[in-house]
Chains A and B, each alone.
Chain A
């Protein structure tokens, strides 16, 4: 058996007196698409941000491909080259075209030449269906298109792992579909991804495992079928019932 791609052991993080992550342990194999759910404030974003160290964990270990990445010996810039991130606020570089958003990291982090970077970026934009928007600036794109550029920007670095932090939450409801479709395709192609989302449709159809986070602990994890239909914990059942209802009412 090979090592898991991502292994998290006893991860812990506090902000001041507030202990956001108390004791989190789980593993992901290469090609897994895991969905992280939980009430707001349960530490989902913090967990993702600890993995690429936008937030430094206070305790516990994180291993990527068998290597300890949470310690001071592992260079954060090397880590972030291997872990892509997609943000709720999208955060495209506002002064750069879609193409330039994607090539910046290729040129300045990976040291690729102009032509090679543009060819690679174009292929990535094609993958998210935006090859004809390469020269558009973020403000000229819809929210859904912006987020797809955000995904292309992260994918271009050929990461081992992709983190999605509520990628559709800032979008108008009619625009979430195009982003979810891109994510489903990615999962089907075998990209390892950890996704914080309220899109239960994505979770049901694409997730390998669902992880339910509450109160700083991983309360329950399992394949989506099991969590939706026969969860072990009452709290999981309750949370999923509420979120499915909200989704049906269109309030998410």
Chain B
């Protein structure tokens, strides 16, 4: 029979002290995780938004290129992409390799978020904009995109969370982010694996929870008063 003492046994005060002693080291990893998340999301947006727009409004060839690139990126495990950007075609140090791997994979997913929301804005909005004399580009810029971006926030929220958590896959190329540093610690003191990993999990949770609430706030802030008339 397993007693309560057995269940809590792995959680030792000494191991928690070990976590506390190494807080500075983990904090450095946390900063790198945040940096990598932010630049990857931004790169993903800068490449993914135009890619989504091209899928909706582009010509045959540009659309074909974006579709193929997106399908390849979405169909490849991130760890494989990172092996490509770090070992096969080394484009820089581990940070740069992780940034491009995460960033372009995120672009492939973000393009689908924006493609969907751009298409969800009713055809009548485009027709009304063109009828006033706006060019197609003006209509997209002033009428379609502002509505599509508002509708993109929930999908973007998911994508943000995924990228944040998937920075941990940079562990595979030895980038010293949060998970890699926690690994460095618990191989030094194998009794502290649970303490270290619980602590790191809590950090990931706080980060994802916090950014999701922040995006909720953004969504409410930009919500159209009274609701949306063309859904």
Task: Give me the interface of A with B, judged by CB distance under 8 Å.
Answer: 52, 54, 76-78, 80-81, 84-85, 87, 89-95, 104-105, 108-109, 136-140, 146, 150, 153-154, 157
Contact = CB atoms under 8 A, between A and B. Distances in A.
B187 interface: no
A94 B135 CA distance: 19
Contacts of A146: 229
Contacts of B142: 104, 108
B68 interface: no
B127 A91 contact: yes
B124 A95 contact: no
B129 interface: yes
B134 A87 contact: no
27 contacts: A52-B131, A54-B131, A76-B130, A77-B133, A77-B134, A80-B131, A80-B133, A87-B124, A89-B124, A90-B229, A91-B230, A92-B128, A94-B125, A94-B224, A94-B230, A95-B146, A104-B132, A105-B132, A109-B138, A136-B226, A137-B225, A137-B226, A138-B226, A139-B225, A139-B226, A140-B225, A146-B229
A187 B150 CA distance: 39
Report which residue of A91, A140, A150 has the largest number of chain B beta carbons within 10 angstroms of its beta carbon.
Answer: A91
Contacts of B132: 80-81, 104-105, 109, 153-154, 157
Is the contact region of chain B dominated by helix, strand, or loop, or is it mixed? helix
A77 B147 contact: no
B228 A91 contact: no
A26 B210 CA distance: 65
Interface in B113-165: 122, 124-125, 127-135, 138, 142-143, 146-147, 150
B128 A87 contact: yes
Contact of A54 (B125, B130, B224, B226): B130
Interface residues of B, number: 25
Nearest to A76: B130
B227 interface: yes
A214 B230 CA distance: 31
A81 to B, nearest CB: 4
Interface string B67-108: 000000000000000000000000000000000000000000
Report which residue of A84, A90, A138, A146 has the largest number of chain B beta carbons within 10 angstroms of its beta carbon.
Answer: A138
Contacts of B133: 77-78, 80-81, 105, 109, 157
Nearest to A84: B131
A108 B134 contact: yes
A93 B131 contact: no
Nearest to A141: B226
A136 B224 CA distance: 10
B143 to A, nearest CB: 5
Given A54-B127, A93-B125, A108-B142, A139 B229 contact: yes
A207 to B, nearest CB: 23
B229 A92 contact: yes
Nearest to B146: A95
A140 B125 CA distance: 18
Contacts of A150: 128
